[in-house]
A and B are shown apart, each in its own frame.
Chain A
Amino acid sequence: MKFTLGWLKTHLETDAGIDSIARALTDLGLEVEEVIDRAAALAPFTVGHVLEASRHPDADRLTVCIVDTGADRVQVVCGAPNARAGMKGVFAPAGVRIPGTGLDLKKSVIRGVESAGMLCSAREIGIGEDHEGIIELADDAPIGAPAAAVLGLDDPVIDVAITPNRGDCLGVHGIARDLAAAGVGALIPLAAEAVAGGFENPTGVAFDFTGETADACTLFAGRAIRGLKNGPSPDWLQQRLLSVGLRPISALVDITNFLTLDRARPLHVFDADKIAGDLTVRLARQGETLLALDGKAYELDPSMTVIADESGVLSLGGVIGGETTGCTGQSVNVFVEAAFFDPVRTAATGRKLNIESDARYRFERGVDPASTLPGIEAATRLIVELCGGEASEVTVTGAVPEVTATIRFEPRRVMALGGVDVAEEECRRILEALGAETSPMNGAIEVRVPSWRPDIEGEADLVEEVLRVYGYDRIPAVPFAKVGVLSKPVETPVPRRRRRAARALAANGMVEAVTYSFLAEAHARLFGGGDPRLRLANPISAELTDMRPTLLANLIVACGRNADRGSPDLALFEVGPAFADDTPDGQRAVAAGVRAGASGPRHWLAPARAVDVFDAKADALIALGAAGAPAASLQVTPGAPAWYHPGRSGAMRLGPKVVLAHFGEIHPRILRALDVKGPICGFEVFLDSIPPSRKRDGKARPALGASPFQAVERDFAFVINTDVGAEAVVRAAQSADKKLIAGVSVFDQYGGKELGAGKKSIAISVRLEPAEATLTEAEIEAVSAKVIAAVNKATGGVLRS
C-alpha cells in the first residue's frame, strides 16, 4: 500500500517528520517496506532561468546558454532543440551525479566552448522517459528554488506492507487513524455532508437471493448523476495517483481509484445509458459470461455475485466491472454503486477467475460496511465537483450488516498475556482512539468493536491492539527459565538415528546433499513409485511432480550433474523422507547414499578402482551401526529391488521380515534411463525399521573378560558350491565352539577351474582365545575338527586339499 506524506496529512494533522512517521508505522505493525524520498535524490537540481541563448560557433545543434541559477550566472552548452532564451529549466551544476545516466557531471569544454553545468531532460533526472528536450518549468517558478518542489516531487512516498487482517489500512484514512492512536497526530474526520438528490433515481435495484445466499450482498447503494462531462481529472488528483504508480484515466475512473486508496472504499460507476432497465444483484447463472473491464471474457457460475440488468450480467460484485457499461469520455449519465459484498464469496470468485483487482483485494480483507453510504456521498461530491452534473436521490437496498463484535475485556489480561502492565485508563484511551466504544462492565470493559475491524473477535485481539499501540518494545523481556537444572536430550530415537547416520557417513568420506522430496513421474516409476495418490495436483514443473519413493533417484541424477561439471567421481548421501503412500505411516525416514565413478582420485600410491557393491555394503553398515542397529544380528541375503544390479545387490535383514537396508550396484538400465554414466553403487537404510535398543542393564557394558593366555589363529579353506554365501561359512565356523572361537574372518575367495564346475573356495581365519590355559596342539586340533565338521554340515563345504 503506497501513499505520500502529503496525502497522509489530508487525514492526519501532524508536525512529525517522515522518519518518525515511518518508525511509528512499523511499530504499529504497518511495516514500512520503503520510503521513497524523490526530493532527496533531486536536492542538487534547481530552477535555472535561461537569460541568453545563441548558436554554438562550431556546432549547429548545440546552443550556448547563459543561465541564472539564482546564485550565479553560468554558461551551459545544451543540445536540446527547445533550449531558448527566457525559458526556465532544471539546472544541474558541475559535480552532481545525473541519476538518469549515473555519470558525474564535470565542468568541460565542448567544441571549444566552456560548459559549467547542464539543463536536464526528464529522463536525465530519472522522473520520466522523455529525452526529446529539456524540462520546461512554469514561468513563475522561483529561480534557484529546488526543482523537486516545483515539479511536485517533494512529497515522499511511503510503501507499507498491510497484513491480511487489516483491510481498514488499505486506505490512507485507516493508516492515519492508527498513527493518531499512537500519538503521532490528530485524525482529521472524513467530511460527512450528503449531496442532496435533485431527482428520483430512475434505476431500480433488487436483491435476488435465497435465505442461504442472502449474505452474498447485504447492502447496495446507488444513485444516478446526469448531465456530467467525463474529461481528464485535475492536476491534484492526477498527481495523487501518479505518486503511487497509478495511471490517470478519466475523472470518473480516477475518482473511484482515489476513494479506494483514500478510504479503502471500492465503488463502481456504470454508464447509465448502457444499462437496460433495472438492476438485480444476484448469483450468476451457469453459463453466463462477462466481458470485463480488463478486456477478458469470463465464464461465471452460481457461486459468484453479479449485478445484472435485463440484458444480462453487467459486473462481478466486488471484483470487476463490465466492458459494456464502462464509463468513457462520452459518458453523460452515470449510475454510481457502493455496496457490501461477502468477503468469502468475493475471494473465491477472484481466485477462481484469477482476477486481481483493488476491489477484490479490499473486499476479501474486509471493507467497512458502514462506509457504504458515506462512500457514495464522497464519490458524488467529487463527481459533481469535477465533472458537473446533477445527482439523484440514493437508492438503498438492504441494510448495513453487523460484522463486528462486542467483547468483554479485562485489562489485567494485558499483563497476563502480554507481560506488561497497561493501566485500564490507557487501555480505554487506545481502544477508543482506534474507534472502539468502551464502557465499564463490572470489573471489566465492554468494548464495541468499530465496523471497520472485523478481524477483532476476542479478548486476545484487544490485548494485541493495546500492546501494538502501547509499544511491543515496552514489554520487558523475562528470562525464559528451564524446566529443570539440566536439560534432557532434545531428540527422540528416530531423529537421533538420522543425525548419527549423517555424521557417520560424512566421517566416512561421503558428502551430504539435500534434494527435493519430489521428482519427475518417469523417475518415480523407475524406482517403484508412480502411485497417483502421490502425484501433485499442481506441480511447479514437469520435473517435480511425484513424491519420491526413494532418495536414490535424485542422488543419482545429482551424480550426473556433477559429472557434467567435471566431477564424475563422488560420494553423496542424503538423510530424509521417502514416501510409500500419502498417510503419515507411508513416510519413511531413510539414509541413502551413492558412490559414482572411481573409488578415489588418481593417486601415485593408491590406484583408483571402480566403485562396487562392497563400497555400498560398507556404507550401509556404517549408517546402520551409527543408527544403533544390532550389527551382530544382521543377515545379508542376495537380491534387492529392481533398480539394483540383480547379481550385485543385497538386503540386510533382522529375521525374514524386517529389512533394514538394501545395497548394491545400480542397474545399468536405470542409469541409462536417467542418462547418467556408471558405475554407481548405492544403499538405502530404513531408519525407522531399526528396533529400539533393549536396555537390560542400563548403559553398563558386559565385563571384558580378556584372557591372559596366548590366542591362536588357524586358517581353513573350504570348497563350497558357488551359490552358498561366505556368511554361511563364517556363521557355521563361529558356532563350532562358542566358548573358544572369538572371531572368524574371510581372507580369501577363489574360483579356479580345478575346483570343479559350480565350486568356489572360501578361506577363513579362526581366532581361538582360551580362557583357562594355553591351548595344547591336541586341543587346537580338536577345535579345528569341530570347525570343519560344522562348516560341512551347514554348507556342504569340504576342506580344500
Chain B
Amino acid sequence: MEDLDQLRNEFLAAVAGAEDLESLEKVRVSVFGRKGLITERMKGVGALAPEERKAAGVALNAVKQVLADAIDARKAAFEDSGLEVRLENERVDVTLPARPIGEGRIHPISQTMDELLAIFGEMGFTLAEGPDIEDDFHNFTALNIPEEHPARQMHDTFYLPGGPDGARKLLRTHTSPVQIRHMQKAPPPHRIVALGRTYRCDSDITHTPMFHQLEGLVVDGHTHMGHLKGCLIEFCRAYFEVDDVPVRFRPSFFPFTEPSAEVDIGCKRSGGRLKIGGGDDWLEILGCGMVHPKVLANCGIDAGKFQGFAFGLGVERIAMLKYGIPDTRTFFESDLRWLSHYGFAAGDVPSMTGGLAR
C-alpha cells in the first residue's frame, strides 16, 4: 500500500503544481482518464483474491476521493480567480454622479397650509371653501363692516365691474366671507377652517397684492373666550413646535367680533435672528374674537342661543416666522433657487402623529 500513498502524494503535488485549468485537466486525465493510473489500478483490483479485493478497493476509493476533491478544489480556485480578473476589469469610477432624478418641491405656502390643516383637523375642524371673487355682502356687509366705515377703508379692496344688475364684485380681502357662506348653508354647530387666497391693493416691502389666510369659526351653544384662548394657545405651541411658547391676548377691534383680541407670541431677537419662544419681545400673529351677534343675525342664527369664536391669520407671515423666510414678496416670484431652498420634499407630509416639520 505504500506505493498507493506515494501515488497519492505525487498526484496531489501535481494538482498543486498545475498552473492553469488546462494543465489541471491533464493531471485529471492522467489519473482518472481511460488510461489513467487510478482507472488502471481499479482494473487491477478485480484481479485480486476476494479477501484482498475488498481492502484494496476501499483503500483505492479513498485515494480516488481525495484526488477528486483536490482537483475540484483546485478547479474552483482557478475559476474564482478568473472571475476576479474579469470583475477587476469591469471596475468603474463610482464617484461619478448617479442618474439624474428631478427634485420636486412643495411651496412653503402649501406646506404651511398642510400643517395648519393637520393641527386644526386634529381639533375637529373641517375645511370650508368659498370663491375668491366675492360680493359686498359676503365680504363686508354681513361681517358688520358698513359702507364708509373706516374699517372698510382699512381693507384696500380690488373691485371688478360686476354684472348688469349693478352688483359690484370684488376680490375677497380676507377669508371671513367663507364663514358667512358656511353659516348660511347649514345650521349650527359649526367648527370650520377656511384657507385660501386673499387680495388687497397694496404693494410694498411687507405687502403683496395677494396673500393667504387661514380662518377659523366655531359656533355652538356654549363656547366662550376661555375656549378661544385654549384653542389658540394649543395651536401656537403645536405649530411653532415650542411647548412653552408664551401667548398673549390683547384687546383689539374687528367689526365682526366682539370682544376682539390680537394674539402675540413671545420671541427673542438677537444677532439678527428671531427665536420663537422665551425672550422679552412679542410678535403679533393672529386676530380673533367672539363672533359678533350682528354677524350671527346676518346669517340667520339666533344670537341669543348661539355663540362662538372666530380667528384669522396670515399664512405667509407664520411661514416666514417658522422657517426664517425674510421677504414676503419672494413667495410669488417663482425663483427656482428660492423654491428649491425654502421648498419641501414631496414626502414631507405634515401630520400630528408623524410630526409637522422635519
Contact = CB atoms under 8 A, between A and B. Distances in A.
A478 B334 contact: no
Interface in A466-517: 467-468, 472-473, 475-480, 482-484, 487-492, 494-495, 499, 502-517
A579 B199 CA distance: 15
Contact of B121 (A420, A490, A535): A490
A482 B96 contact: no
A582 B160 contact: yes
Interface hub of A490, A517, A535, A604 (most chain B Cβ within 10 A) = A490
A516 B99 CA distance: 35
Given A164-B150, A460-B290, A533-B162, A502 B110 contact: yes
Given A473-B249, A513-B334, A514-B107, A536 B158 contact: yes
A418 B292 contact: no
B354 to A, nearest CB: 14
B160 A534 contact: yes
A348 B148 contact: yes
Interface string B101-131: 1111111011000100110111111110111
A419 B334 contact: no
A408 to B, nearest CB: 13
Nearest to A555: B334
B241 interface: no
Contacts of A488: 124, 126
B229 A506 contact: no
Given A163-B253, A468-B259, A571-B102, A587 B131 contact: yes
Contacts of B16: none
Given A27-B250, A164-B154, A561 B104 contact: no
Given A351-B153, A461-B258, A536-B159, A506 B104 contact: yes
A708 B154 CA distance: 72
Contact of B261 (A416, A472, A515): A472
B332 interface: yes
Interface stretch (B6-14, B17-25, B68-76, B335-343): B335-343
A478 B161 contact: no
Contact of A511 (B224, B226, B339): B339
Contacts of A541: 203
Given A417-B225, A492-B126, A562-B335, A475 B258 contact: no
Interface in A341-372: 343-344, 347-348, 351, 364-365
Contact of B339 (A480, A509, A512, A575): A512
Contacts of B249: 472-473, 475
B110 A561 contact: no
B64 interface: no
B116 to A, nearest CB: 10
Nearest to A495: B127
Nearest to A547: B133
B307 A417 contact: yes
A719 to B, nearest CB: 36
B161 A532 contact: yes
Nearest to B195: A495
Contacts of A348: 148
A562 B334 contact: yes
Contacts of B321: none
A630 interface: no
Contacts of B159: 536-538
B322 interface: no
Contacts of A561: 333-335
A544 B209 contact: yes
Nearest to B134: A584
B229 A478 contact: yes
Interface string B155-168: 00011111100000
A528 interface: no
B148 to A, nearest CB: 5
A535 B159 CA distance: 9
Contacts of B197: 517, 576-577
Interface string B248-259: 111111000011
Contacts of B250: 26-27, 29, 31, 472
B301 interface: no
Contacts of A572: 334, 336
Contacts of A587: 131-133
Interface in A175-205: none
B132 A512 contact: no
A487 B121 contact: yes
B50 interface: no
A600 B103 CA distance: 10
Interface hub of A480, A538, A544 (most chain B Cβ within 10 A) = A480
B194 to A, nearest CB: 10
B62 interface: no
Interface hub of A344, A417, A460, A504 (most chain B Cβ within 10 A) = A460
A559 B275 CA distance: 35
Interface in A565-601: 565, 567, 570-572, 575-577, 579, 582-584, 586-587, 600-601
A509 B290 contact: no
A706 interface: no
A467 B249 CA distance: 11
B258 A419 contact: no
Nearest to B259: A464
A603 interface: yes
A604 B97 contact: yes
Nearest to A30: B251
A266 to B, nearest CB: 15
Given A532-B161, A536-B159, A475 B226 contact: yes
A504 B347 CA distance: 9
A509 B103 contact: yes
A480 B224 contact: no
B225 A494 contact: no
B347 to A, nearest CB: 7
A6 interface: no
A508 B129 CA distance: 28
A307 interface: no
A163 B261 CA distance: 12
A796 interface: no
Contacts of B28: none
B104 A511 contact: yes
A199 B335 CA distance: 75
Given A460-B259, A512-B339, A480 B123 contact: yes
A706 to B, nearest CB: 30
Interface in B257-289: 258-262
A512 B106 contact: yes
Given A505-B104, A512-B105, A587-B132, A364 B227 contact: no
A444 B148 CA distance: 35
A480 B104 contact: no
Given A348-B148, A540-B201, A572-B334, A582 B225 contact: no
Contacts of B130: 584
Nearest to B210: A516
A29 B345 CA distance: 42
Interface stretch (B33-41, B53-61, B77-85, B230-238): B230-238
Interface hub of A479, A533, A540 (most chain B Cβ within 10 A) = A540
B251 A29 contact: yes
Sorted from nearest, which 4 A-B pairs have the closest CB atoms? A509-B102, A419-B226, A29-B251, A490-B121
21 contacts: A164-B150, A348-B148, A351-B148, A463-B258, A472-B250, A478-B227, A480-B231, A483-B124, A489-B121, A490-B118, A490-B127, A491-B127, A505-B104, A513-B334, A533-B162, A536-B159, A536-B160, A565-B336, A571-B104, A587-B131, A604-B96
Given A511-B340, A515-B334, A600-B102, 17 more contacts: A164-B150, A417-B225, A460-B292, A467-B225, A475-B226, A480-B231, A487-B122, A490-B117, A490-B125, A490-B127, A503-B106, A514-B332, A536-B159, A536-B160, A547-B133, A582-B163, A605-B96
